[in-house]
Amino acid sequence: MKIAAIGLGSMGQGAAASMLSKGLDVTGCDPSERARLAFAGPSVARACDLPPGIEAVLVLTVNAAQARAALFGAEGCAERLAPGAVLIVSATMAPADARALAEEAASRQLLYLDAPVSGGATGAANGALTVMASGSVAAFDKARPVLERVAAKVWELGEAPGLGATMKVVHQLLAGVHIATAAEAMALGIKAGLDPAQIYGVVTGAAGNSWMFGNRMAHVLAGDDTPLSAVNIFVKDLGLVDALAREANFPIPLAAQALQLFVAAAAQGHGGKDDAFVIRAYQALTGIALPGEKKPNPAG
């Protein structure tokens, strides 16, 4: 089975490598030369340069616009795909965008799986992502060889496109709020005179812990703001949460506050930094010193 992996960022790189190591014929695609060089298999810069006859495309771009351009744009790959190929679109996007992409795929006699993922770079590299997907039985069947190599769990949420995207938006509400509250707790403890390493040790061994606290506050302790997932990602994703809530006429006070914290960090110049460093919004307000920093560094 000939596969294309479009988007070789922190998650796409791992997912593509996992497929390659487990026996699939994978060609990577990313405009970044650095990303292409990091991939062990063949790669191209533009989707329209993928080899003909691709049977499945895994799309791990940042957003719906990038996914649409890579699939159906002027330099998209749709015309080079095998008849009946499946598009496994894992970019986080609004449900309406997922439905629109599925309609475009159907008009070209292509199968479409609305298949957002969770698990981060580590989960992708280990073939242990969680996939929250919706699509036809035929789409799931065609995508199975890919899903089996990138995921530890595949949730089949129904046939209607948009259900997967909706589930991911709901999930990102929790992810964003958990990161924001983890940063708030760590910042408060530092301001009140506690040792950051001891805060981390106590919380990760007690009932107040969350997966996000344990994972993201480890980045803060290490002083490493290299983006595995960036602040700007949660500006986008919590923006999608806000839009879905408005559409549903549903109040989201906690997610709204978390969104403003990420926006504040981005406005201070930290949008491209690891999302754990949303804590620098609190640093700017309170003057705390973070581990590895001798003084507040609001400029990044």
Catalytic residues: 168
Which DSSP helix (H) or strand (E) runs through 70? Answer: helix 64-72
**Other residues' Cβ atoms within 10 Å of the Cβ of residue 58:** 28
The closest of 270, 66, 267, 243 to 172, measured between CA atoms, is 243
Q: Which two tokens stand for residue 206?
A: 């007690």
- Kind of pairing between the strands at 117-118 and 129-133: antiparallel
Spatial separation of the C-alpha atoms in residues 25 and 51, rounded to whole Å: 11
Beta-strand runs (E) in the chain: 2-6, 25-29, 43-44, 54-59, 81-89, 111-114, 117-118, 129-133, 151-156
39: amino acid identity, one letter: F
**The Cα angle at residue 127 between residues 123 and 129, in degrees rounded to 5:** 50
